[in-house]
Amino acid sequence: MKQLINVPERVVTDALRGMAAAHPELSVDVERRVVVRRDAPVAGKVALVSGGGSGHEPLHGGFVGPGMLDAACPGEVFTSPVPDQMARAAAAVDSGEGVLFVVKNYTGDVLNFDMAAELAEDEGVRVAKVLVQDDVAVTDSTFTAGRRGTGGTLFVEKIAGAAAAEGAPLERVERVARRVAEACRSFGVALTACTTPAKGGPTFDLPPGELELGIGIHGEPGRERRPMMTSGEIADATVDALLADDPPNGPVLALVNGMGGTPLLELYGFNAEVQRALGERGVAVPRTLVGNYVTSLDMAGCSVTLCQVDEELLRWWDAPVATPALRWGR
């Protein structure tokens, strides 16, 4: 696969330079790889910091801004950022009210955010952590003990970000984040492998007539390979996997997410089938987001995340947000 890059070693640095040029409302430290709200620290507000390997854009840098993250730390492609980045981000955004680390469940991320928390606490920053482990496809996988963290991260960052913007103290923001993380379930499907800059070709082999159900966002193996399915069949299999894991007893937010290489035209069509499948199974969906939010480079495919909400969580979901990738309200 051809890539729009200079050299593999500079992909993340180049992207941060380009992000800085496009988003003057963000402060991008290209050398140290930290993306921060320009107006941070925000007085009296708990700060949210996330991060992880690059290659999942707009996650996390595209979610920095009022109502969501205060800072993001991108690692190399599919590689955890280092503790120094996270500790530096925490120091940059802490107003004195403390910092919540939003951590996707990959071993490197978990270890490095733990070390970063110690570093930050040594500097007098109060730190809380929430672990996102929403992918129902497999338990234990490449890079992960337990369940992988995927699309649910968006809901955790948005809803806990809204609680923080409203002035909730650290303990409350942490509790909200944990509630959201526990209320999220995701399942992904790959039609093709993705191409990492270092490798320059597909990271795994997926034959022309097959797809993989339960794929991870780094192309980690899923549950099974099957002959190619229709959009409707994929929606049924995905929704069944989600509901089998945890049947919601109330309304859900839905993220119908593209893995990067699937056209928006197809994603909207897939959403029609996801909504049909949920409707047939009696699940109410007050809000739906369709687009490429938690991606895997150029992989073709999709994932669905459901987040069960009560009125309070729904109100925080609807609260204003102003980031490069997610933006609504006043």
Q: Give residues in contact with a second copy (CB under 8 A).
A: 1-7, 10-12, 14-19, 21-22, 54-55, 57-58, 62, 77, 191-192, 208, 211, 228, 230-232, 234, 256, 260-273, 275, 285, 288-290, 292, 295, 297-298, 300-302, 322, 327-328, 330
Kindly state the tokens that stand for 301: 């495919």
HSE at residue 183, side-chain half, CA atoms within 13 A, is 23
> Rounded to an integer, what distance in angstroms lies between the CA atom of residue 59 and that of residue 2?
23
Of 324, 330, 325, 308, the residue nearest 159 (C-alpha): 308
The strand pairing partners of 54, in sequence order, are 77
> Which CB sits closer to a second copy, 180 or 297?
297
Q: Shortest distance, CB of residue 91 to a second copy, whole angstroms?
A: 25
> Which CB sits closer to a second copy, 145 or 228?
228
DSSP secondary structure string, 216-232? Answer: -TT----SEEEE---HH
> Which CB sits closer to a second copy, 256 or 309?
256
Kindly state the tokens that stand for 22: 């496009």
Query: What single letter denotes the amino acid at residue 134?
Result: D
Of 105, 46, 104, the residue nearest 70 (C-alpha): 46
CA distances for 131 relative to 89, 134, 215, 233, angstroms: 18, 9, 20, 31
> Which CB sits closer to a second copy, 22 or 111?
22
> Which CB sits closer to a second copy, 38 or 123?
38
> Which CB sits closer to a second copy, 208 or 282?
208
Query: What single letter denotes the amino acid at residue 272?
Result: A
CA distances for 72 relative to 20, 79, 101, 285, angstroms: 13, 14, 10, 30
Q: Shortest distance, CB of residue 148 to a second copy, whole angstroms?
A: 20
> Which CB sits closer to a second copy, 28 or 163?
28
> Do residues 251 and 308 make contact, with C-beta atoms less than 8 angstroms apart?
yes
Residues carrying an active site annotation: 56, 218
Kindly state the tokens that stand for 322: 């102003």
Q: How far apart are the first and last CA of the chain?
A: 42
Query: What single letter denotes the amino acid at residue 192?
Result: T
Q: Shortest distance, CB of residue 160 to a second copy, whole angstroms?
A: 22
Kindly state the tokens that stand for 165: 């913007």
Q: Shortest distance, CB of residue 123 to a second copy, whole angstroms?
A: 31
Q: Shortest distance, CB of residue 110 to a second copy, whole angstroms?
A: 23
Which three-class secondary structure state does DSSP give residue 327? Answer: strand
Report angle CA 71, 177, 131 to the nearest 5 degrees.
Answer: 80
Q: Shortest distance, CB of residue 97 to a second copy, whole angstroms?
A: 27
Q: Shortest distance, CB of residue 18 to a second copy, whole angstroms?
A: 3
